[in-house]
A and B are shown apart, each in its own frame.
Chain A
Amino acid sequence: MSGSKPDILWSPHHPDLYVICDSELGLYRIGPVGGTETKPGTLSLSKETAATLLAINSDTPYMKCVAWYPKHEPECLLAVGQANGRVVLTSLGQNHNSTCKELVGKEFVPKHARQCNTLAWNPVDSNLLAAGLDKHRADFSVLIWDISSKFAPETSVAAEKIRLSFVDLDSSSVVTKPLYELGQNDACLSLCWLLRDPKLLLAGMHRNLAIFDLRNTSQKMFVNTKAIQGVTVDPHFHDRVASFFEGQVAIWDLRKFEKPVLTLTEQPKPLIKVAWCPTRTGLLATLTRDSNIIRLYDMQHTPTPIGDETEPTIIERSVQPCESQIGSFAWHPSSQNRMVVVSASNRVMTDFTVFERVSLAWSSTTSLTWACGRHLYDCVEDSTGGTEGAAETDIATKMRERAQSRYGHDTVQVWRNHLLAGGTDPQLKSLWFDLFYMKQCAEDQELKLQGNKQSVVYSGIKNIIKTSSGTTESRRCWSGSDRQADVPRFYSEERCLALRLCGWISRGPDINVETFLRSLEHEREWERAAAIALFNLDIRRAIQILNKGAMAENGDLNLNVVAMALSGYTDEKSSLWREMCSSLRLQLKNPYLCVMFAFLTSEAGAYDGVLYESSVAVRDRVAFACMFLGDAQLPRYIDKLTNDMKEAGNLEGILLTGLTKDGVDLMESYVDRTADVQTASFCMLKGSPGEVLKDPRVQCWIENYRNLLDAWRFWHKRAEFDILRGKMDPSSKPLAQVFVSCNFCGKSISYSCSAIPHQGRGFSQYGVSGSPTKSKVTSCPGCRKPLPRCALCLMNMGTPVSGCSGTGKSDEKVDLTRENKLAQFKNWFTWCHNCRHGGHAGHMLSWFRDHTECPVSACTCKCMQLDTTGNLVPADSS
């Protein structure tokens, strides 16, 4: 603190006062900037705050260290340590308090002059002031002065007075007898009183840290170390102390004082100040020489050891409060994370608040939480849906809701899955109908062809059409009309199958769309129904449908107009009707109405207006193509459409690709676009067991979906999914991984009683029912020696938990696939894989609700802590 080295001290009790000391002491008041009047001499410290110089004290030259009196009264009393070892009490500003007047000017003089390095007021017994001095061959270096001591009566200190006569001083205010003298023949470089006991003083001596106890000064605790400068106690954790040496900070725990608990990474330049943040636990600020940054160490996690093997973690970061080099800094005593910084050269001050680290965490369910300072922010997705303009719900939320509604699990009425998914997504609707029709056809074909062509159904229309042969061409008349249509229509078995897959026709030899039209009418899809009727050359039916639509509740009256226009159809090539329709149709909003006129006005074989109308459902366009495109045109069109669908990741394209490699490609671009691994997984599991499931992409979706379910703690859902998957893909069932062998004979004890590979199941069965030979199952079936006992009830394995209704003794054959499980989970036998102790699952669960350690006495295994998910509960009900 001599000339070049300024320091800052905050008033212990006034949040707006601080002192800067370099060659003199300056008292400042900090306040909001730009108050009513801007006084001259106000220094701006930040955008919001400014400081006013209140008083200057330059009475004490050769200042080496300063300490502020810790009590409220007298308020601006400072102790100054000088280069010659004297400690002077001084004050700043007006102070009319009588105690203060009595104290100010008092001097404490050591026997032998040497530099005073540090001062520390006792925080409790504030009369005690400890001073740390350089070493002297015949003197002590830690002197504890009692500031209330009067100059003692003549008799006892006559000798002192004679000696003082050399030093011409006003002897009434000079104290030469310290209350305590500690640390002989050694230098004291830093001091602090321990907060855990105000009689303990920690001193950084020349080569060791020493703790002096004022109750027994002949005893001291000490540890040899180089890190003896700047000792300071963590105000939030009274056993934790920081000290430093050159560029390295050491953190000590007073309860284990032999060596530092932590040493922080060494800085290239020597440190000048280290201070714990008084408003935030475990935050240590350090400053090195010639630096414009303050380095912060966050030791939040260190004091509480969480597990046995957790290493203490420190988070290091730096802040730059100002451009210039920092001379010193001081934390504000009460304002959170705030400090004032003074520059090294020209006493420029900066008011600075360290921004708290933000820690952020995603939950598995789209909500986001972050913490900053003492605030915790929670961000959740707006579940109300909001207005139309609001962003679409995140796919993860959708998948989660769908998983809860058992999406994908309807294996009979497959199309219903799109309703489980919410029924709002047209692509999903199309997909599940495709899969439904495929399933229907497959079952049908199975009956007809004994399953040998089953896979054809799942290979998609693209492949079905390629195998087409024997196409017949026919010209049909408009039904209900005598006019001969010049539209050629094509037939073949494959085309017929394709139409079935498109959903236009149902089982049977003849092509009859009437059932389909009725269902469309039922769903009020008037335009679509009319178009399909028209494509089937039934113009009268189309008009009838349109009329119906116009008349229906909330019907569109314009449909009548369209019907009118339709009824004027003529095949005259150059008629006005044809001319007007072909141009005006483009103004029709509804794509089906549009394609109807496109169909009527186009030449045979040139149906681009219909085929490339992208708003028309793929299935309708494909069905149309199957009816009206020749063997040359059809595959070309289907290939093109397939490629478009694959590129766009449009699920309607599954109709074309089926569940083939093409289908996986299409699904891949769909997943890339939407991340909907759920739909992808279920879709791929619906097909015939085959190559697609072996595709690594499919496995990846499935695994990801399982992980998602795990993350949501939907363990029952995952189990259901695994069961479904196991049915479709038996290779996915895991093999038995654990077998229990008898301790005595070494044979697997499940061997004779269960063929089911799952060991869990095996034991559940084992637990209650008898083995086929009806032997007592508490013994090894091989050697008849007893099985291990439950650590809690001490019953042998194989005995059900007592109190449970003993269905176990029944002789009935057990079918595990049935709903009624023969053994409840609590009867299962379970054990810790680490210490190999265990017992009934029910007993273990209740034990580990209250304990972390193994129930076997003398076993210290923390079984439950080893199980990372053991303390979680499933989020879905079973």
Chain B
Amino acid sequence: MELHILEHSLKVASIEKEGIQICAHGLIKLAFLASKTRCKFFSLTETPEDYTIIVDEEGFKELPQSDLISVADATWLALNVVSGGGNASSSQPIGVTKIAKSVIAPLADHNISVFMLSTYQTDFILVRERDLPMVMHTLSSEFTLLRVVNGETVAAHELGVSNGFIKPKLVPRPIIHPLSSPSNMFCVTSLDPDTLPSVATLLMDVMFYSGGSKEAGASGEDSTHIRFFSFSLIEGYISLVMDEQTAQRFPNNVLFTSASGELWKMVRIGGQPLGFDECGIVAQISEPLATADIPAYYISTFKFDHALEHQFHFVYLAQSVESLPSDWLINFLSTQITKREYL
């Protein structure tokens, strides 16, 4: 397997809900007028708490400076696992489930904090730039490491740091954060970039006016419903995550739907903000899921709170609605949980 270290230098930022209007201009440019910017990596995720932006340095210039925007200090690099090379066994394609054991767990063992972004097309594992030597050292045994330089993929050389690494302590990783699962179902989809202009107004509505429409619709009676929407435009590929109801607002044949029309259940990790420095959160969840062979998406988001950097993790688990009730899932996970804190 190949691990590609992509050339994007990424910034992760959080925009307060009330700050969205001052950023709207920049965000619209990044999302819908990609040809006007030199941005190649853009992701916007809305949660009930905030908007999380992942954007490369070119795209970051489009955003204004404001107290309502908080930016994580570190520069992040995106890793991408590709089943390239000669080893193209026609086994199941890999997702977070498969890379959990090979990437996420070893990084957690070495206390490397990761930030996950799953899209329709692939999974990105974000690591801090300063952790890169450690990451490469950790993963070099399992993967062919390749680095993308000016669009060309070249072999990455280890940065020569092999001393001073703490021997990983292979302790069992209990789930220590509370889990919650909202009742609404989500779909992960994409669309043809050529048709983007035709649904641009609808997407803007979903992105920026969600609060308003929700109140107007007054459909949000169900408190277990959660407001969640994600849009990403990465190297020309669009990926969307939205709930079923939002998806129905799109015209027919615009969204790419899977032949199976699968829907995903959300599990939210952490009742209170989780620190960036805390490691192994993804691993806690992904390992047991991988063991049970349950496919999953991850999207990490970021909440800045009083000089403390925190992050939330969301997990989406694929399941046929009828066959796997959410109770089962929680139960399944709860067997792994030592410190039970349900919400």
Contact = CB atoms under 8 A, between A and B. Distances in A.
B152 to A, nearest CB: 6
Interface in A154-187: 163-164, 166-167, 176, 181-187
A296 interface: no
A138 B295 contact: yes
B125 to A, nearest CB: 13
Contact of A137 (B95, B153, B154): B95
Interface in B91-125: 92-95, 118-123
B86 A135 contact: no
A163 B95 CA distance: 21
B153 to A, nearest CB: 5
A114 B190 contact: yes
A185 B122 contact: yes
B241 to A, nearest CB: 12
Interface in A39-71: 61-62
A747 interface: no
Contacts of A186: 82-84
Nearest to B320: A162
A309 to B, nearest CB: 30
Nearest to A2: B194
Given A137-B119, A138-B95, A111 B88 contact: no
Given A111-B259, A163-B259, A62 B88 contact: no
Interface string B244-259: 0000000001011111
A219 interface: yes
Nearest to A137: B122
Interface in B140-172: 146, 148, 151-154
Interface residues of A, number: 42
Contacts of A109: 259
A789 interface: no
Contacts of B122: 135, 137, 185
A208 B259 contact: no
Contacts of B217: none
Interface stretch (A14-22, A220-228, A356-364): A220-228
B88 A135 contact: no
A138 B93 contact: yes
A83 interface: yes
Given A62-B192, A114-B190, A135-B122, A218 B90 contact: yes
Given A109-B259, A115-B192, A136 B85 contact: no
Nearest to A163: B260
Interface residues of B, number: 40
B195 interface: yes
A85 interface: yes
Given A185-B83, A186-B84, A207-B148, A110 B119 contact: no
A84 interface: yes
Given A134-B121, A136-B121, A185-B122, A164 B259 contact: yes
What does DSSP make chain B's interface, helix, strand, loop or mixed? loop
B120 A136 contact: yes
Contacts of B237: 134-135, 187
B258 A217 contact: no
Contact of B86 (A61, A110, A176, A219): A219
Interface string A183-208: 11111000000000000000000011
Contacts of A134: 121, 237
B264 to A, nearest CB: 12
Given A136-B121, A185-B82, A185-B93, A110 B259 contact: yes
Q: Which of B84, B120, B148, B195 has the most CB of A within 10 A?
A: B84
B66 interface: no
Contacts of A164: 259
Contacts of A113: 189-190, 255-259
A62 B198 CA distance: 13
A112 interface: yes
Given A207-B148, A222-B84, A176 B93 contact: no
B93 A114 contact: no
A139 interface: yes
A276 interface: no
Contacts of B121: 114, 134-137, 187
Q: Which of A111, A134, A187, A208 has the most CB of B within 10 A?
A: A134
B233 to A, nearest CB: 14
A140 interface: yes
A104 B22 CA distance: 53
A13 B190 CA distance: 39
Nearest to A135: B121
10 contacts: A113-B255, A113-B256, A137-B122, A138-B93, A164-B259, A184-B94, A187-B121, A218-B88, A219-B86, A226-B151
Given A62-B253, A164-B259, A185-B83, 20 more contacts: A61-B253, A83-B194, A84-B256, A111-B258, A112-B258, A113-B257, A135-B121, A137-B118, A137-B119, A137-B120, A137-B121, A138-B94, A166-B260, A186-B83, A207-B148, A207-B152, A208-B84, A218-B88, A224-B154, A226-B151
Interface of B: 81-86, 88-90, 92-95, 118-123, 146, 148, 151-154, 189-190, 192, 194-195, 237, 253, 255-261, 295
For the complex of A and B, the 9 pairs showing the least CB-CB separation, nearest first, are A166-B261, A113-B256, A163-B260, A83-B192, A184-B93, A224-B153, A135-B121, A138-B93, A112-B258
